[in-house]
């Protein structure tokens, strides 16, 4: 299974938000912990609705949580 | 390992165990001397029907036991809903499972075309049902571990 082109900063953002657990984020976004695990590993590209829900859980705009293509570490 | 991965493994093992134990239990009852008779058809009909019922009941019981053990060992609650990843993986697993069963079904019909006894047709049909179930569980496990 190839890596998805949609990447994210979820792991880093969880850490920056009082070390939020995967389960807490899952509860806020309305998904299971398995989905957060898959997203963090880059094994799954979320739907647009889920991407917005996750961004909303961090109180951040979508583009600060997700990116397309190569990860530009310097931006974070 | 997450709940879904563990559940896929438990489902795979229970599918294999139920099928093997049931076949070992029913195999000695096969009416060897009565080829293509009403008795043989009755045997295969009851074989499939009882296997289906036993399989459903056993899966429900195993699923309940698994949830209890999961709660006790991890102190986590199992997910009570299926999210978009679960639904997508279910669709992929169903597609693979269906493909395997259709191939088995066509092979079973092919065995009748080349004048094989009905026993061969039923064995291929039941075997493909079993393999499609195993394929579904393996597909779930693969996609939960490797992504979609």
Task: Walk me through the domains of chain A, giving residue ranges and CATH numbers.
Answer: 6-64 (1.10.260.40)
Cβ atoms of A40 and A10 within 8 Å: the answer is: yes
- Please indicate if any CB of chain B lies within 8 Å of the CB of A48: no
Nearest to A35 among B5, B76, B83 (CB): B83
Q: Mind listing the pLDDT tens digit of every residue in chain B (148 residues)?
A: 888 899 999 999 999 999 999 999 998 888 877 666 788 888 999 999 999 999 999 999 999 999 999 999 888 888 888 899 999 999 999 999 999 999 999 999 999 999 898 889 999 999 999 999 999 999 999 999 888 8
Residue B78 has a pLDDT of: 83
DSSP A42: T
Quote the tokens at residue B50: 């009882």
Is the Cβ pair A50, B84 closer than 8 Å? Answer: yes
This model of the complex carries an ipTM of 0.80
Quote the tokens at residue B95: 């597609």
Residues of B with CB under 8 A from a CB of A: 2-5, 76, 79, 81, 83-86, 143-144, 146-148
In our burial notation (b when 16+ CB lie closer than 10 A, e otherwise), range A25-60 reads: bbeebebbbbbbbbbbeebbbbeeebbbebbebbee
Q: Mind listing the pLDDT tens digit of every residue in chain A (76 residues)?
A: 555 788 999 999 999 998 999 999 999 999 999 899 999 998 899 999 999 999 999 999 999 999 987 665 544 4
Closest Cα in chain B to A1: B146
Cβ atoms of A25 and A54 within 8 Å: the answer is: yes
Percentage of chain B lying above the pLDDT 70 cut: 97
Quick check: helix, strand or coil at residue A8? Answer: strand
């Amino acid at each position: 299974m190839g890596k998805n082109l949609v990447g994210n900063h979820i792991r880093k953002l969880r850490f920056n938000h009082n070390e939020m657990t995967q389960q807490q984020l899952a509860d806020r976004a309305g998904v299971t912990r398995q989905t957060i695990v898959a997203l963090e590993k880059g094994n799954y590209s979320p739907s647009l609705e889920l991407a917005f829900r996750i961004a909303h859980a961090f109180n951040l705009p979508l583009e600060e949580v997700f990116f397309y293509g190569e990860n530009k570490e310097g931006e974070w | 390992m997450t709940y879904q991965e563990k559940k896929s493994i438990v489902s795979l093992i229970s599918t294999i165990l139920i099928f093997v134990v049931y076949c070992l239990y029913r195999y000695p009852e096969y009416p060897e001397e009565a080829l293509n008779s009403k008795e043989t058809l009755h045997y295969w009909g009851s074989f499939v029907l009882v296997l289906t019922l036993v399989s459903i009941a056993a899966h429900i019981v195993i699923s309940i036991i698994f949830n209890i053990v999961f709660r006790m060992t991890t102190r986590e609650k199992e997910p009570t809903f299926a999210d978009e990843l679960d639904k997508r993986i279910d669709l992929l697993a169903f597609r693979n499972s269906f493909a395997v069963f259709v191939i088995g079904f066509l092979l079973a019909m092919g065995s009748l075309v080349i004048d094989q006894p009905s026993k061969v047709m039923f064995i291929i049909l039941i075997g493909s049902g079993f393999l499609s179930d195993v394929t579904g569980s393996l597909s779930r496990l693969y996609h939960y571990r490797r992504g979609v």
